Structure 1
Amino acid sequence: MQTERLGEQLQHLGFQFYTGVPCSHLKYLINYAINECEYVAAANEGDAVAIASGAFIGGKRSVVLMQNSGLANAVSPLVSLNYPFRIPLLGFVSLRGEPGVPDEPQHELMGNMTTRLLELMQIEWRYLSYDMDEAMQQLIEASRWIDRNRSFFFVVRNRTFDQVALRKQELVSRMNHLQTARQEADQYPSRYEALTVINAMKDRHTVQLATTGITGRELYEIEDSPNNLYMVGSMGCVSSFGLGLALTQRNNNKDIVVIDGDGSVLMRMGSLATNGTYSPPNMLHILLDNNAHDSTGGQSTVSHNVQFVKIAASCGYVQSIYTHNLAELQWAMEEWKRTKGLTFLYMKISKGYREQLGRPQIKPFEIKQRLQSFLRNDPPEGGQYEKRQEEYFA
């Protein structure tokens, strides 16, 4: 297949944002994406799905590329982020371990179940045709599924793409410019108190992304607004989602504030390296660490043994700051709004949460729709929300 012709058709259909993890079956399509489009190299396939999802919310039709072994890594966000939020992605997944084709033993089982796994996740799929004209029609069909808010994946056999040489890549080294360590006793405010401070700092240019579980539920209770998104499932994916969204909003005067938890960051710490490398200046990453999985009964995490500020700094965050109390948190946010640059703020909080804490009463796909409207600066539709947009930012 003429890889460049296929890529040009994808561009014509609006797919110019790619992210993924390499596979030998997909290498020439990946080379094309790196050469001709915007490509984000993810640390793992689940992160790639989250990055592409954030980019889609920000207005870019997105493509994810992965080996079928990595499809298993992507199951969590595909079923608990993309499905409930109705975020459609175009995917290319290789068919390692194709039945009847000699391959490595680790690919045998996944090769037998790849298409069934896609069907179980209710993802439309097709084998990408070797015939160029038929493949071009398949791309049009896939685009129509995306228009209906349904993800569509192509299963790619070996030797599908013809050669595309990878141009020389200029690697940019990201340097940390400010790192502060613990210098005094921690205040240990509640998560609710910390979220109240964070929420009070938002303005009409701010998007707030709250990680899975209690964090999202408490932010919703403090103030539900069209510039909030509350993650459900897909634990560990919020900062990757924020990266994809921030990359699309760099020139749109929108700030992306990612509110994370220790269990979430620990689950996908490779995302910190990706965030640092692509370093969107309009992204603020806040970690509220209570050394516990509060949503599931308060079991301890291993965060007490991790120096997150140093890790973020070593991954290339421009600033990585330890805040000891609510006043420092507010000050650091004010400084970030003035200076920008990818920044990591860390604060220890107390365990626990208020009894009878409610849950968002708005469906995830409705949250997606109103956030997309906010990003487009659309006014709320009449009667859709209880408050008018200007009341949120009075």
Structure 2
Amino acid sequence: MIKVNEFEDLLKKNNVGFYTGVPDSQLKSFCDYIEDTYGISDKHIIAPNEGNAVALASGYHLSTGNYALVYMQNSGLGNAVNPITSLTDPNVYNIPVVYLVGWRGQPGVKDEPQHVKQGAITPDLLELLDIDYEILTEDTQIEDIEELFKNSFAPKLSEGKSVAFVVSKGAFESFKTEKSNEYTLTREDAIKVIIDNLSLDDIVVSTTGKSSRELFEYREEKGHGHSNDFLTVGSMGHSSTIALSIALNKPQKKIVCFDGDGAILMHMGSMAMVGSKSPANYFHVLFNNCAHETVGGLPTIMGDINIGEIAKNCGYKNVVHASSAEELNDVLPSFLSQEGPVLLIVDVSIGSRKDLGRPTTTPVENKLAFMKKLDE
């Protein structure tokens, strides 16, 4: 098991001077340590998506000659493939990057359905990208990594080649930090208020992470069934575009998208598509806690921008705001009666119930029930 402070010391000794990426629960100890040590600064930027992180790492190397580390869940390799193959590759600009990749869906380790395929292909994908990698496990010691840098990784980086650490569960020792914000309304309670204001004819497309889990549990509690909801268990940042396509193809139905700030930021171009197509039946709900809460609570940049003005300039008809259950109950009737696309921003706290469950239906079962509901 590796102590995160020792790992970071070793990185610095090998000319790694900048950290960027998208947080991952498998890398929580490391990400928390980096944020606790450097905050958000010229040494550390939390990127909206993994492709952005590769670009930031490239700019750092071009301007300093040193190396950057990009951290991500292995699902993020999908977002990073384009700049890896067309920017940093030795046959293009030959820019060296150190990757730290959380291995979700590792074969032989129980995980959620959305991680299984990516977990199985992660080593093959890195090989296909010509990125040499080392798997870190709970048995890995810092001395092993020192030898790896000396004998393999440091020479490769000096030649412009990229390298990767693939991190198994339990490879890093725990590093505890507490994350919170100023808001008291929980996302789960906000979801309950919204569901109580919808009819059983209304359709919900919910984003990846705990939002979908909380929605599923409240439907169970209410005895509603789950056919009204498409639970986007993976594909972070794409729920709003799924909802857009459904809204365009089912104009007689009210389509409500439950979104998160990290998800919106990851693929913000989707808001421009929504505004451009301007479906009247599209109702976008942003649960904003300014954090990647599902994977540990590190901050997003949502607090630094005006997402409401961005939505309006993309073509959304209106933007409304709520920061408490009372405000949410007050604005919902008007919000849901407006002509879309419209955006509701709900400020919520960081955190969730310790005993929060997971959907008991499979993704395919969810899909089939959902499609049947859409045809009613």
Contact 2:316 2:343 in 1 (8 A): yes
- 1:138 alignment partner in structure 2: none
Q: Describe the shift of the 1:291–1:256 C-alpha distance in structure 2 as closer, same or farther (beyond 3 A).
A: same
Deviation of 1:326 after TM superposition, in Å, equals 2.2
- Give 2:367's aligned residue: 368
Instruction: Kindly state the Cα deviation for residue 330 of structure 1 after the two structures are TM-superposed.
Output: 2.8
The equivalent of 1:258 in structure 2 is: 257
What residue ranges of structure 2 are gaps of 5+ in the alignment? 1-50, 52-74, 80-84, 94-117, 123-181, 221-225
| Structure 1: segments with no counterpart, 5+ residues | 1-45, 47-72, 78-95, 98-104, 108-116, 122-185, 378-394
Where do residues 302-313 of structure 1 align in structure 2 (5 Å cutoff)?
302-313=301-312
Cα shift readout 1:197-222 (whole Å, capped 9, x = no counterpart): 11112213201111100111111111
- Aligned-partner SS, 1:259: strand
- Kindly state the Cα deviation for residue 75 of structure 1 after the two structures are TM-superposed: 7.9
> Structure 2: which amino acid aligns with 1:338?
S
- SS at 2:346 equivalent: strand
Q: Distance in 1 between matches of 2:76 and 2:297?
A: 27
The answer to whether structure 1 residue 295 and structure 2 residue 291 are counterparts is no
Q: Deviations over 1:316-336 (max 9, x none)?
A: 101112223223323333113
Runs of 4 or more above 6 Å deviation: none
| Residue 106 to residue 329, structure 1, CA distance change in 2 (3 Å) | farther
Residue 356 of structure 1 and its aligned partner are, at CA, apart by 1.6
Instruction: Using the aligned pairs only, state the percent identity.
Output: 33
* Letter in structure 2 aligned against 1:216: S
The one-letter code of the counterpart of 2:371 is Q
Alignment of 1:217-256 (within 5 A): 217-224=213-220, 225-250=226-251, 253-256=252-255
User: What SS does structure 2 have at the residue aligned with 1:337?
Assistant: helix
Q: What per-residue deviation string (whole Å, max 9, x for no partner) do you get for residues 277-306 of structure 1?
A: 101110100101111111111112122112
**2:320 aligns to what SS in structure 1?**
strand
Q: How does 1:202-213 map to 2 (within 5 A)?
A: 202-213=198-209
CA distance 1:246–1:299, change in 2 (3 Å) = same
Q: 2: distance between equivalents of 1:275 and 1:76?
A: 23
Q: What is the distance in 2 between the residues matched to 1:340 and 1:227? A: 21
- Shift in Å, 1:187: 5.6
Distance 1:307 1:259, change over 3 A: same
User: Does 1:353 pair with 2:352?
Assistant: yes
Aligned residues: 211
Distance 1:326 1:302 in 2: 25
Cα offset, 1:190, TM superposition:
0.4
Report the aligned-residue RMSD: 3.4
Aligned counterpart, 2:157: none
SS of the residue corresponding to residue 344 of structure 2 reads strand
User: What is the SS of the residue equivalent to 1:280?
Assistant: coil
Instruction: Give the secondary-structure state (helix, strand or coil) at the position aligned to 2:285.
Output: strand
Contact 2:240 2:259 in 1 (8 A): yes
Contact 2:185 2:323 in 1 (8 A): no
Over 3 Å counting, the alpha-carbon distance change for 1:106 and 1:279 in structure 2 is: farther
Shift in Å at residue 258 of structure 1?
A: 0.3
TM-score (norm 2): 0.51
Amino acid at match of 1:212: T
Are 1:76 and 1:234, in contact at CA under 8 Å, matched by a contact in 2? no
- Superposed CA offset, 1:21-79 (max 9, x none): xxxxxxxxxxxxxxxxxxxxxxxxx9xxxxxxxxxxxxxxxxxxxxxxxxxx99859xx
Matches within 5 A, 1:157-176: none
Aligned to 1:214: 210
Question: 263-272 vs 222-231, which deviates more?
Answer: 222-231
Give the deviation of 1:352 after TM superposition: 0.5
Q: For 1:228-260, what per-residue CA distance to the aligned partner results, in whole angstroms no more than 9, with x for missing partners?
A: 11111100101011101110011xx21110011
Counterpart residue identity of residue 262, structure 1: D
| Counterpart residue number, 2:338 | 339
**Which amino acid in 2 is paired with 1:373?**
K
Cα distance between partner residues in 1 of 2:330 and 2:78 = 36
Contact 1:237–1:268, Cα closer than 8 Å, also in 2: yes
The 2-side partners of 1:351 and 1:187 are apart by: 8
Partner in structure 2 of residue 268 of structure 1: 267
